Structure 1
Amino acid sequence: MKILWDKINKKYELSWLSALIAFSGIFVFTQNIVFWRTVLNLVPFDSIQDYLFVGVMLIVLLSLMAILFSLILWSRRLTLVILIMLLSLSASFNYFSYHYQIYMDRDMLTNIIETNTLEVVNLLNGELLAWIILGAVVPFWLLTRIQIKPVVWWKGIMQRLCLVTGALVIISGTLFGLNFYKDFASFFRNNRQVVKLIMPSSFVASYVSYAKKNYSQAQPFKELGEDAELVKPVEQKKTLMIMFLGETARRQSFSLNGYEKNTNPKLSLQENLVSFQNVVSCGTATAVSVPCLFSKMTRAEFDKVSAENQDNVMDVLQKAGYKVLWRENDNGCKEVCNRIPTQNVSDYTSAKPSAGVLYYDEYLLEGLDNYILAQDPEDNLVIVLHMNGSHGPTYYQRYPNNARVFTPTCDTNRIETCETEVLKNTYDNTIAYTDDVINRGIELLKRYQDQYETSMLYVSDHGQSLGEKGFYLHGAPYMIAPEEQTSIPLIFWGSDEFYQNRNLTLSCVQKKAQQENYSHDNIFHSLLGLLQVQTKEYNPKLNIFTEC
């Protein structure tokens, strides 16, 4: 046994050159399971050329990995620390990408960095642990068998130069010398998302992009709406609007939009309510969509760092004289509420959280009556309620037992193991519960119609995939994201007086809601228009309600 153990535990002393090649091989073969699975599914293997193409891809990937490690691994002491970090990240990513069709880019990395502890806990399970053990711990043990020989600094640099040069020659020779460039160009042009599956280069590239955006491009704060003023006749009542900011709700699961299950039994009975049928989100993750939808910037020009360094529509409303309040029940407002009064549900409710950590969205309404009654009668009010909504994968924890309308349900975080209809039942329960909470908000507003012109706007930050085309959850790169992740609900309700004093025609709004295409780009200007705020920042062409 001792002899066997000694052989297993034997260490191999290698030069930097050999060690970097070994590291590259270990990562290419153990940390790119999803990449290779995707490639093998996409290549038709109709001819010998297809087999040669995959072989050349292996050579190119090994060469590129050698270049990457030559650039990031310099210290013998830090090498193992960096490698175990990359192995752990790669193994975890492979698990989620394998099961949920997740792709790594800057937006996904931002989402990961800004994910709170609760969301991490919801994702943990035994299979993930097994993936990390097999995908990170075992390869790391292999890496610890390698001892790097000490070398004079200039020789180390020369070895790296030789490795990088050799790798570039190999890449050039295989792509151009063997005439495979056209195959690579065609394959990756038609399947650009595949590059985002390569580990650990996708993590490294995403982090470099993230750091560049967040640290290298620091910008002075840009004031918007300094000229903002509320323009409404003196005889009009004050305004009270509640805006529900939904989380992970997709348009396709709302019966108001034609879904076969009755997920909106209460809102469908509300008069003066309009559900917009064709609305798309700015992004596929909260970290992008929330700041984008409140920003003046359109999706085409949106930049997260710029958004954080300028006023958003909530700031402009506050400058115009509105008293604003943000209530939070998700994982943060993504910098949108930095300059306005904010309350977290956990700060004011006496209710106990579900599953020990989660508060149901109904608690966003707790104490709102007292808040409204405590305000000066001359104040115009806007209240934003950021819901936990339909956040996955633990959909079953997002609603109380009495809201469990559709059964059977998928009561696990391993949603890929549930039958499609069972998973949809669970998700649909979150939508039905959202319907109930919004309806409660409208009923609350009705109690104040004698004092205020009241209205409600509901919009989701992005959608959600439930296994369609192999995708689960959200966060797919926008250019390949399925419509389930980008098609979102947008619902508006207003009191009779609210409609009348803005000369809004309900039938016109309903017609536009059925026929026209809208997006998060419209939210900034629609809010300013509905709330009668005049400023040079306002563009009536982007106000959904202008023509009505």
Structure 2
Amino acid sequence: MTLPALRVPTRTRFVIAVAAVLTLVNAAVLAERAGRAAEAGGPALALWAGAIDLLWLFAVNVALLVPAMVSARLLKLWSFLLLVAGAGAAWAVAQYGISFTREMGYAIVGTNPGEIRELLRPWTLALAVCAFGPPALLLARLRLPRLTFAPHGRALAGAGLVVLLFGGAFLADQGRVRATIREATEVFAPVGLVSAVVDVARREWLARNVAKADIAQTFVLPGPREDAPTVVLVVGESTRAQNFGLGGYARQTTPRLAVRDGVVYFPEATACSTTTAVAVPCMLSRLEGHEFALPPRETSLVGVFAALGYDAHWYSVQRGNNRAILSACAEAPTCRVNLPGHDEVLIPPLEAALAAPGPAPRFVLLHTLGAHANFHERYPAAFARFRPECRDVPYACDRQAAINAYDNAILYVDHVLDEVIARLEGRDAVLIYASDHGESIGEGFRYGHAAALALAPEEQTRIPFLVWTSRIFREKRPDFAARIAARRGQRVSHDHIFHTALGCAGARSALIRPSLDLCADSPAGALAGR
């Protein structure tokens, strides 16, 4: 049976209808922002702020659709894509508390199909088909008339009025309006999603032929290279400080590290981002978090160690599809990503790197999957100590079951770190471990990570951070070991990794900041962090 075609009087009315639906998709965010305004200034402010939000959002949605009006097919396709993106983005904002910042744009661009599959289930896809099937069919049967401009004087006048209103407000108070628009853009769908992805594409395009500044030449390694220590950096994933046994968690999730000599744990550590796409390049940069921006413009920690004569290696179980991370990885002579299996598969290549012939000291970066969702997929069955464990996406499980699976994943992190340390015990070595960011597990009904850093809950920003030194390292450099131990109560962050790794290796450069080098002889309190 053939469905009859549906006619729309004008393309303008079609655009207005779609823009209205895209605006209503954000009803929950609009209500939440109006509620905040009411708390700050009462009902009058809430009404005014809500009206401005509604008007601005509707105008932007219209602006997103207008360029596609030149073609009926293009307009229908673009409308459908925006409706799907808007619904999905609004769900992500409500489920994960994310904001569509530039950092989120890099995370979206760097997401691969495997990560998407981990967060979706058959019922999710079935729901999507049921939700978007009818609109797709409806759009397919719509017949849009030819585009004409004469009948649309009222629409153009309305658009002009909106421009005048916002133009006047902008001229009256540029800073406040800019900040308001930026905040609104980051939380509304799909405009925030489109804006973030376009911003990332623009930055990548402008930086495509710009070479990184080679800061490695400013670093020197005094003394013979064979006297330099082995340096291992283990990058964790989605592991938060709140569930790390060394930090005083009620459960002992780090029993092996708890009895390991040479471990200094820093309980007050924070991440420079809540997304892997930004956090990993940030922690490998000499810049502090508030200075750092993608794409990276300088040689990373990896390139500096390679230039110092270290035999540099990068091994990762993460899927290598993020350009900024791959760019840092490529600075190492050995760069291997997407190793299959649990994090323990990193041990054999580590052993091979340590056993390689030659006098050059070793620098090894191990990029793990840590406690990334889905939690039960991050550890072998033998580590399922806390039960019942969630064996699905975290938000689909009982919260305690999700926490149990998360704690099991940290038990496995503890095991892997201890196995890495065991391979370094008889060497002159230092190991630094820090997670890229934390994770929300149902607190405030949030799951996952990637919230805007300024608004992110502590579960996403507080991370485990530790430094381990071997007995030989402590004997050869007792002052370094003493300084690390003396600062265990200091605030630290990703900012410290670059400077501490090079400082503890004995490297010298005017670019090493003593206040961020845990091995440096810094004044008391200089390591307070941000």
1:356 aligns to what?
none
Deviation at 1:379, TM superposition (A): 1.5
Q: Deviations over 1:245-272 (max 9, x none)?
A: 1111111111111111101100010111
Aligned with 2:348 (options 338, 361, 366): 366
Amino acid at match of 2:414: D
1:120 counterpart = 2:113 = no
Q: Counterparts of 1:125-524 in structure 2 under 5 Å? A: 125-151=121-147, 155-156=148-149, 163-169=155-161, 195-218=185-208, 219-232=210-223, 237-305=227-295, 307=296, 309-332=297-320, 333-344=325-336, 359-376=341-358, 378-392=359-373, 394-413=374-393, 415-446=394-425, 449=426, 452-504=427-479, 506=481, 508-514=483-489, 516-524=490-498
Q: Per-residue deviation at 1:52?
A: 7.4
What RMSD over aligned residues (CA atoms) do the two structures have, in Å?
Answer: 3.1
1:538 aligns with 2:512: yes
Give the distance between the partners of 2:164 and 2:504, measured in 1 at CA.
Answer: 59
Q: Residues 199 and 143 (structure 1 numbering): CA distance in 2 closer, same or farther, change over 3 Å? A: farther
Gaps of 5+ in 1: 348-352, 354-358
Asked if the contact 1:242/1:441 (under 8 Å) is kept, the reply is no
TM-superposed CA distance for 1:472, in Å, is 1.2
Paired residue secondary structure (1:336): helix
107 and 277 in structure 1: CA distance in 2 versus 1, 3 angstrom threshold: same
Q: Secondary structure at the match of 1:491?
A: strand
Contact 2:315/2:349 (CA < 8 Å) preserved in 1?
Answer: no
- Distance between the aligned counterparts of 2:184 and 2:125, measured in 1? 25
Alpha-carbon separation, structure 2, partners of 1:532 and 1:159:
75
Residue of structure 2 equivalent to 1:35:
29
Write the distance in 1 (CA, Å) between the matches of 2:414 and 2:111. Answer: 26
> Separation in 1 of the partners of 2:56 and 2:224?
69
Task: Specify the code of the residue in structure 2 equivalent to 1:293.
Answer: M
SS at match of 2:290: coil
Q: Which amino acid in 1 is paired with 2:458?
A: E
For residues 164 and 134 of structure 1, what CA distance do their matches in structure 2 show?
36
Q: 1:279, 1:517 within 8 Å by CA — same for their partners in 2?
A: yes
Cα gap change, 1:509/1:538 in structure 2, threshold over 3 Å: closer, same or farther? closer
Letter in 1 for 2:477: R
**Could you say if the C-alpha distance between residues 385 and 56 of structure 1 is closer, same or farther in structure 2, counting changes exceeding 3 Å?**
closer
**Matched residue of 2:136: which SS?**
helix
CA contact (8 A) 1:345 1:363 kept: no
Matched residue, 2:528: none
Q: Deviations over 1:463-508 (max 9, x none)?
A: 1111112321110111101111111111111112212323436454
Q: What is the deviation of 1:33? A: 4.7
Q: Which residue of 1 aligns with 2:80?
A: 84
| Number of aligned residues | 510
Match of residue 500 from structure 2? 526
SS at match of 1:283: coil
Taking the aligned partners of 1:271 and 1:173, their CA distance within structure 2 comes to: 66
Trace 1:21-60 onto structure 2 (pairs within 5 A): 21-29=16-24, 31-36=25-30, 38-39=32-33, 42=36, 50=46, 54=50, 57-60=53-56
Aligned amino acid, residue 12 of structure 1: R
> If the length of structure 1 is used for normalisation, what is the TM-score?
0.84
Measure how far apart 1:48 and its partner are. Answer: 7.9
**CA shift at 1:521, angstroms?**
1.3
Task: Flag the 1:543–1:109 CA change in 2: closer, same or farther, 3 A.
Answer: same
Bigger Cα displacement from structure 2, 207-216 vs 250-259: 207-216
Q: Give, in angstroms, the shift of residue 203 of structure 1.
A: 1.9
The alpha-carbon deviation at position 533 of structure 1 amounts to 1.6
Name the SS of the counterpart of 1:282 in structure 2. Answer: coil
The Cα of 1:192 is off from its aligned counterpart by 7.5
Q: Structure 2 CA distance, aligned partners of 1:138 and 1:149? A: 22
Shift of 1:202: 1.1
1:37, 1:126 → 2: CA distance? 31
Alpha-carbon spacing, 1:382–1:64, altered in 2? closer, same or farther (3 Å): closer
Q: What SS does the aligned partner of 1:244 have?
A: strand
